[in-house]
Amino acid sequence: MRLADKFPLGLSILLVFLLTGCDRMMTPRHAQLVKDADKKSAQEDFLRAINLYEAALDDSPRCAEIHYKLALLYDDKMNDPLNALHHFKRYLTLSPNGSHANDVKNFMKRDEIALLTSLSGDSVVTRAEAARLRNENLNLRKELEDRSLKVRSAPDQTQSGGPPPEKTTAEKSSSRVYVVQTGDTLVSISRKFYKSPARWKKILNANKKSIDDPEKLRIGQRLIIP
């Protein structure tokens, strides 16, 4: 009889665990971080809220609900579609049939268009137009690379007014090279090197020649980390 009395309580705890969408039971520290993040978000201190949610993810990286909250903050408050897409995708991966799944899919379509628009520099750009512009940019980049190779093969005609070799060496030594691994995104690489997801644009700007699509990094691709 005592076992039967205890079973409903155990079942309730199991249901709470499953509904959280997290990879382990919520610790007191994790719960406090989420509570503080919710409070900061309500106070419109969005940067602090993001930092707290990110800290909660360090404890429980598979918590879909936190990814959803982060995605909304980046989307609605920070006007950052790339970070929003990253967390929307993580939510769908962890909870493909979750209560927010349909909304997330619609948000992602909108953010993909917004991201392509911001990259193209146009205010209204269709996906087809963005793809055409991207192909044109690739062709131009190829022509520039071909010309650069021809210039390098010609005799060195560097003028004395050019930058000193010491400066070039110093600039190279201040950068790092990272090889893209499976599952890497600009956001995750930014977190890895800068302890913050918000500096992904710095990596993108340093690798414009090699990154065709910020959402699709190639495995084995070498990126300069400034």
Which domains, ranges and CATH numbers included, belong to the chain?
A: 10-111 (1.25.40.10), 172-226 (3.10.350.10)
Q: What is the pLDDT of residue 15?
A: 43
List, in order, residues 6 or more apart from 57 with CB less than 8 Å away. Answer: 63, 66, 67, 70
pLDDT profile of the chain (226 residues), mean per 10? 46 44 65 93 93 88 90 91 91 93 91 76 53 64 73 56 49 73 86 84 88 84 89
Q: Which two tokens stand for residue 133?
A: 């512009």
Q: What is the pLDDT of residue 95?
A: 92
Q: What is the pLDDT of residue 71?
A: 93
Q: What is the pLDDT of residue 102?
A: 92
3-class DSSP assignment, residue 18: helix
- Is the pTM higher than 0.75? The answer reads no
Q: What is the pLDDT of residue 174?
A: 65
Q: 74-80: long-range contacts at Cβ-Cβ below 8 A with a sequence spacing of 24 or more?
A: 74/50, 75/107, 75/111, 77/44, 77/46, 78/46, 78/50, 80/198
Q: Which two tokens stand for residue 123?
A: 């205010």
Q: What is the pLDDT of residue 187?
A: 86
